[in-house]
Amino acid sequence: MINTDLPTADPNTFIGEFHEMDLSELKDKIFMVAISTGDRNNPKFISESICGPLSFLEMVEAVAHIHDEYLLHAKAIITSKKFGEKPKVLDPMTIDYIEAKSSDIIIEAMLSGELEKQFVAKAGFIPEDEREINETSK
């Protein structure tokens, strides 16, 4: 459920590690992620680093990866299929929150069943005829 009554984070008081942020309105969006450059309030990024399209959880993982591996901030850009529509870029407080809470965001998605599992195998059993052979050889 999207809570539209909440304000956006105040850059003078918001600390991603200590506060909570409602990200529910982002969960159905498609993103591109890149390494941020220059002023974090401007939508500039290193073009060679851009990747996507990404789902919400893939974006969270990419933002965390850039922060953890390179010690840099990311730009997360919401894409649109409409030509000429200006892209929306997540603000620095949202990126800080995602960097700080990426593990919690992903675990919450797993627990709520939002995370689709891509199974590559199913549970297996030792065939009964092999169990009998192993028991008699003891």
Residues 22 and 4 sit within 8 Å (Cβ to Cβ): no
In this predicted model, which residue has the larger pLDDT, 65 or 116? 65
Q: What percent of the chain has pLDDT over 90?
A: 34
Residue 64 lies in a domain: yes
Residues 9 and 21 sit within 8 Å (Cβ to Cβ): yes
Residue 12 lies in a domain: no
Query: Hey, what amino acid is at 62?
Result: A
Give residue-wise pLDDT tens across range 13-33. 777 777 788 888 888 999 999
Q: Give the domain range for residue 101.
A: 24-136
Whole-number pLDDT of residue 86: 83
Residue 8 lies in a domain: no
Whole-number pLDDT of residue 65: 96
Over the chain, what is the mean pLDDT? 82
Whole-number pLDDT of residue 22: 85
Residue 11 lies in a domain: no
The token pair at 78 is 């919401």
Give residue-wise pLDDT tens across range 101-132. 899 888 888 887 766 666 555 556 667 766 55
Whole-number pLDDT of residue 79: 87
ω before 43 within 30° of 0 (cis)? no
Whole-number pLDDT of residue 6: 74
Residues 93 and 11 sit within 8 Å (Cβ to Cβ): yes
Whole-number pLDDT of residue 60: 95
Whole-number pLDDT of residue 125: 65
Instruction: Work out the average pLDDT over 70-79.
Output: 92
Instruction: Work out the average pLDDT over 50-69.
Output: 94
Number of domains in the chain: 1
Residue 66 lies in a domain: yes
Alpha-helical runs (H) found in the chain: 56-70, 92-112, 128-136
Residues 74 and 33 sit within 8 Å (Cβ to Cβ): yes
Residue 49 lies in a domain: yes
